[in-house]
Amino acid sequence: MGIEKGIFKRTELLLGNSLMDKIASQRVIIFGIGGVGSWCAESLVRSGIRQLTIVDSDRICVTNINRQLLATTKTVGQVKVDALKERLLEINPKAEITAVQQIYSPETADSFELDKYDYIIDAIDSLSNKMDLMVRATQTKAVFFSSMGAALKMDPTKIQVAEFWKVKGCPLGAALRRKFRKSRKPSRKFLCVYSEEVLDNRGANESCGTEACLCPRSKNGPGDPDLVNHEWCSMKAQINGTLAHITAIFGFTIAGLVMKDICKE
């Protein structure tokens, strides 16, 4: 038995050989590989997805360790997509993982050639970039799934799936819908993972204060003379508390939606 055959033996036992071939043929792209996207990528590759593109501009920050699959004390400072690609290839060395250290935005959108994918997954934090991806992804033939906000939550039983316009109790979903009423809207329906739970931050909202948070746009590593040492967290408009089990369940749920769609009759 070859190593790849052995890796997916239990999956094949459940799904059958023909579905394994179908899973391996699908082309998937994930935008954002943080607390949600990293776990989604892991689940997809462990389930037999071989053609996966992962997109994120950041480097690993020490504050990512509490919830992001690729973040450990040994990977702080590394380019996120490179660290995750290395891990995914350790799971399946024959997988075709394309790592893109880039920000998705209206300006860079065309470079991703969304039409060539079967599944597009949104795990982006930025509101404006998320909106643009929702509009463009729903103009393709790809199946599109989106993650709403996973911060300020603790109860895993409150995580749900709903069509975007029916998402309730999620501040991010509400903000997106308000803005869409005044601008271009997604051209078709799509499913989102979300939770109505919204807790308050109880701790002090301080930056990490470490030089390990490196400039996300440098690709040349810590020795790069153009590298700016800073804590990336302070550049974000809002920082909220998060827990690994919530972000992971969000990511695993999206991966489950992809698998369910591939395997449907």
CATH no. for residue 228? 3.40.50.720
Express each pLDDT in 135-148 by its tens digit: 999 999 999 999 99
Q: Per residue of the chain (265 residues), what is the pLDDT tens digit?
A: 678 789 999 999 999 999 999 999 999 999 999 999 999 999 999 999 999 999 999 999 999 999 999 999 999 999 999 999 999 999 999 999 999 999 999 999 999 999 999 999 999 999 999 999 999 999 999 999 999 999 999 999 999 999 999 999 999 999 999 999 999 999 999 999 999 999 999 987 766 655 545 444 444 444 443 333 434 555 566 789 999 999 999 999 999 999 999 999 6
The backbone region for 16, taken as left when phi is positive above 0, alpha when psi lies in -120 to 50, beta otherwise, is left
The number of residues making up the chain comes to 265
- Which residues are paired to 145 by β-bridges? 121, 191
What residues make up the domain containing 191?
A: 3-263
What are the backbone dihedrals phi and psi of residue 143, each rounded to the nearest 5 degrees, phi first? -80, 130
Number of domains in the chain: 1
